[in-house]
Structure 1
Amino acid sequence: MSSEPTNCVFCEIVAGREPARIRYLDNDLIAIVNRLTWVPVMLLVMPRRHMSQLEMWSSGIMTRLGDVAATLGCMYCPNGFRILSNFGYDGLQSQSHGHVHVIGGQFLGHYA
């Protein structure tokens, strides 16, 4: 989707109609603090223009988005972090607006 859909909280944040703690902003990208707090650092990095996860990953914006996510990860989580992207309901994607998560600030555990 290229147009702003109804009820997209991320589009509302980009438009300034919903509050957010912004950690990065340029003409194309925004990074905000996630409202979830199950680890000390939870950031969301996304295009300002609404697009699906697949559109975001297939577009040319991913290189810059990845650079911003990694830079913020290094800045806020100097001992290490994860960059995650959820696709679809089974992958626990809760918002249709494409985004990646930067999480860290503590040891995230071993893989099972």
Structure 2
Amino acid sequence: MSCIFCQIGAGTIPSKVLFKDDKVIAFRDINPQAPVHIVIIPRKHFTNLNDIKGDDFGLIAYIISIATELARSEGIAESGYRIAVNSGKEGGQVVGHLHFHLLGGRQLTGELG
């Protein structure tokens, strides 16, 4: 298991976990781009959005629902937040495991950070 996010999901790499269940895990980003910067990953390994097929699309909706709940619990739901996903190298994806960023806590610009 060489994927860092798979290792975080398995608990072999420590992280500041905010939510976890059998489908997803959410943790604080180690290089935050905003006061609130949470990474949400599916436990099942998908390299990027291109790997999502059939029944897996329901998992994406579930991840969005977790992100909105985290936005509420972090106190940024009313002021506003961003949910972002980068897919592929030219899309800005750095880690080869599908993941979503929840960012907020300040005025966000047109860029990810």
Q: What TM-score, normalized to structure 1?
A: 0.85
Structure with greater helix share of residues: 2
**Matching of residues 1-112 of structure 1 within 5 Å:** 6-54=1-49, 55-56=51-52, 59=56, 60-76=58-74, 77-78=76-77, 79-109=79-109, 111=110
In structure 1, stretches of 5+ residues that fail to align are 1-5
Structure-2 change in CA distance of 1:57 and 1:41 (3 Å): farther
**Secondary structure of 1:90 counterpart:** helix
The answer on whether the counterparts of 2:84 and 2:102 sit within 8 Å (CA) in structure 1 is yes
Tell me the alpha carbon deviations over residues 50-95 of structure 1, each in whole angstroms, 9 at most, x when there is no partner. Answer: 1122224762211111100111122212311000010111111011
Classify the secondary structure of the residue corresponding to 1:61: helix
Partners of 2:73 and 2:89 lie apart in 1 by 31
Over residues 28-68 of structure 1, what are the superposed CA-to-partner deviations in whole Å (9 max), with x where a residue is unaligned? 11101011122111101111111122224762211111100
**TM value normalised by structure 2:** 0.84
Residue aligned with 2:96, SS: coil
Count of equivalent residues? 106
The percentage of aligned residue pairs carrying the same residue is 30
Residue 7 of structure 1 deviates from its aligned partner by: 2.1
Q: Structure 2 unaligned runs (5+)?
A: none
Any runs of at least 4 consecutive aligned residues in structure 1 with deviations exceeding 3 A, and if so which? none
